[in-house]
């Protein structure tokens, strides 16, 4: 994407303090956007960062209105904040199901809902949700996490239908396993981190983890006015994990 694709546009990126979200923030800024970070965990050195937990509707509404005022409107929302969960359906209790859905699904709803009045004022309105390979492929011990991402993929379609005639496009990206602090924590907690990393690399048909910058480029495309005829789409950034069946080497 050439510099300037987002000149004059304003974005909110949730979970923008780390990993994929931080890469999206950097990409959109390089391309000319003014970007507000919404994260529950923000350090003082982050530019235009708002301490917002996506489970807290009142803080989200206040944050969205502050961004619209401070940055001059809202054109783009990237719903990226998310948390993981491991286990089969037997291994997480009701409270954990509600907690993870509250962040990964209702969190995206709350932020988009608060931003809609501002997006309707934009000539280049777009929402991009961070979904996952776990929405479309069965992975061991990811029942709860995968269910939240399946919900995000369907929500993307429902919202794309509801808001198309208001001029708002809604798409999602579906990363494979991406090399972020999240995966770093997962590897650190494994009995043999090097073996776990090798197994995750091998699960990707292209033999390595996805780079956060690669996901950010896909988000930037979908958020950009250049994707003006693209809505309701799930763009895989997974090294072929969803669609390809390679023979073993
Ligand atoms: N890393 C992967 O392999 C991978 C693969 C597919 C999809 N994803 C998705 O990408 C997104 C980002 O993941 P990442 O790997 O960059 O993780 P990360 O842990 O590096 O970053 C997530 C960010 O979200 C923030 N966050 C978490 N809960 C929040 C809340 N309640 N309110 C506000 N902010 C909150 C965290 O503080 C953090 O800054 C998630 O939605 C995740 O499900 C990740």
Q: What phi and psi values does residue 92 have, to the nearest 5 degrees?
A: -130, 135
Q: Are residues 30 and 147 in the same domain?
A: yes
**How far is the C-alpha of 24 from the C-alpha of 3, rounded, in Å?**
14
C-alpha of residue 82 to centroid of ligand 1, in Å = 4
One domain for residues 138 and 124: yes
- 145 is annotated as an active-site residue: yes
123 C-alpha to center of ligand 1: Å?
Answer: 29
- Protein residue with its CA nearest to atom 37 in ligand 1: 41
- The 10s digit of each residue's pLDDT in 201-217 is 999 999 999 999 999 99
205 and 215 both lie in a single domain: no
Q: Are 188 and 225 part of one and the same domain?
A: no
> Could you say which of 80, 145, 147, 220 is catalytic?
145
What is the model's pLDDT at position 249?
80
Please indicate, yes or no, whether residues 190 and 148 belong to a single structural domain of this protein. no
Which residue has 């934009």 as its token pair? 122
Provide the residue range defining the domain that includes 184.
179-209
The pTM assigned to this predicted structure is 0.98
Round to whole Å and give the CA distance between 122 and 204. Answer: 38
Residue 248 pLDDT level (bands cut at 50, 70, 90) = confident
Report the CATH number that the domain containing residue 50 is assigned in CATH.
3.40.50.720
Same domain flag for 84 and 103: yes
Atom of ligand 1 nearest to the CA of 55: 31
Tell me the pLDDT tens digit for each residue of 34-49.
Answer: 999 999 999 999 999 9
The answer to whether residue 226 scores a pLDDT higher than 80 is yes
Average pLDDT, integer, range 19-35: 98
* R_g (Cα) of the chain, nearest Å: 18
Whether the CB-CB separation of 210 and 176 falls below 8 Å is answered with yes
188 and 72 belong to one structural domain: no
Do 107 and 218 fall into the same domain? Answer: yes
pLDDT digits (tens, 9 = 90+) for 82-140: 999 999 999 999 999 999 999 999 999 999 999 999 999 999 999 999 999 999 999 99
Per the structure, how many domains does the chain have? 2
Listed in sequence order, the DSSP H helices in the chain are 19-30, 57-67, 94-101, 107-119, 143-163, 181-188, 193-203, 212-223
* Pocket-forming residues, ligand 1, beta carbon under 6 Å: 14-15, 17-21, 39-41, 53-55, 80-83, 103, 107, 130, 132, 175, 177-178, 180-183
Mean pLDDT of the chain: 97
Predicted confidence (pLDDT) at residue 159 exceeds the cutoff of 90? yes
Q: pLDDT at position 1, please?
A: 46
């Amino acid at each position: 994407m050439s510099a300037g694709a987002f000149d004059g546009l304003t974005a909110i990126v949730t979970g923008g303090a780390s990993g994929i979200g931080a890469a999206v923030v950097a990409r959109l800024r390089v391309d000319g956007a003014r970007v507000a970070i919404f994260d529950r965990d923000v350090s003082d050195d982050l530019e235009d960062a708002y301490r917002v937990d996506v489970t807290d509707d009142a803080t989200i509404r206040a944050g969205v209105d502050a961004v619209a005022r401070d940055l001059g409107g809202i054109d783009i929302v990237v719903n990226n904040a998310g948390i993981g969960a491991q286990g089969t359906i037997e291994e997480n209790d009701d409270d954990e199901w509600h907690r993870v859905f509250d962040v990964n699904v209702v969190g995206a709803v709350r932020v988009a809902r608060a931003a809609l009045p501002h997006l309707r004022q934009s000539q280049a309105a777009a929402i991009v949700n961070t979904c996952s390979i776990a929405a479309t492929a069965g992975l061991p011990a990811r029942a709860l996490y995968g269910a939240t991402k399946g919900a995000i993929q369907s929500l993307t379609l429902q919202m794309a239908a509801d808001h198309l005639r208001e001029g708002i496009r809604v798409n999602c990206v579906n990363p494979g396993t991406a090399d972020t602090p999240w995966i770093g924590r997962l590897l650190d907690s494994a009995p043999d981190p090097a073996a776990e990393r090798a197994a995750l690399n091998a699960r990707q048909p292209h033999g390595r983890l996805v780079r956060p910058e690669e996901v950010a480029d896909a988000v930037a495309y979908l958020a950009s006015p250049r994707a003006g005829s693209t809505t309701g789409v799930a763009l895989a950034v997974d090294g072929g994990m969803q669609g390809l069946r390679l023979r073993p080497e």
